[in-house]
């Protein structure tokens, strides 16, 4: 039961990130594997908005397409998300929105920079974080611009 709840919560979070077309669907018309993932919603399915239903079904489909390793990674991320304060969650949502608003080439550059950062040792990461933390806001802005040009 707890595992099913976690799956459902992962589906809910991922659904809010991918809104789509609006349509309504009867619970009985859902495939059995989708019903299983969305079972916590079965009793109130008809009271959900069409858009909410669609997002849930799309999220369930994505969940079912994941490998067991991807599902485990998603569970871990969701558990970490739940441990954040509401303020931290809001801050992350805002950062994600700003990231999604960037042009595709800039998003790609940021992904590449993050991948390079991930390859550093824990000590190197900590030193880099501390150096960045010690910069003035103006220095941080100049550094960000320089990094974006270099890529």
Closest by CA position to 145, among listed 94, 118, 110? 110
Q: What is the pLDDT of residues 21-38, one digit of tens each?
A: 445 788 999 999 999 999
Q: What is the pLDDT of residues 70-98, one digit of tens each?
A: 999 999 999 999 999 999 999 999 999 99
pTM: 0.57
Q: What is the pLDDT of residues 93-141, one digit of tens each?
A: 999 999 999 999 989 988 998 999 999 999 999 999 999 899 999 998 8
Give 13's Cβ-side CA count (13 Å radius): 16
């Amino acid at each position: 039961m707890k595992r099913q709840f976690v799956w459902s919560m992962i589906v809910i979070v991922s659904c809010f990130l991918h809104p789509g077309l609006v349509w309504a669907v009867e619970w009985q018309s859902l495939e059995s594997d989708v019903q299983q993932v969305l079972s916590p919603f079965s009793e109130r399915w008809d009271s959900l908005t069409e858009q909410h239903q669609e997002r849930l079904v799309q999220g369930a489909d994505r969940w079912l397409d994941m490998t067991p390793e991807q599902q485990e990674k998603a569970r871990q991320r969701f558990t970490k998300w739940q441990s954040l304060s509401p303020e931290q969650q809001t801050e992350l949502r805002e950062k994600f929105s700003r990231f999604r608003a960037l042009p595709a080439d800039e998003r790609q550059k940021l992904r590449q920079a993050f991948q390079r950062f991930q390859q550093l040792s824990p000590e190197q990461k900590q030193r880099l974080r501390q150096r960045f933390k010690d910069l003035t806001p103006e220095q941080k802005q100049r550094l960000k611009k320089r990094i974006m040009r270099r890529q």
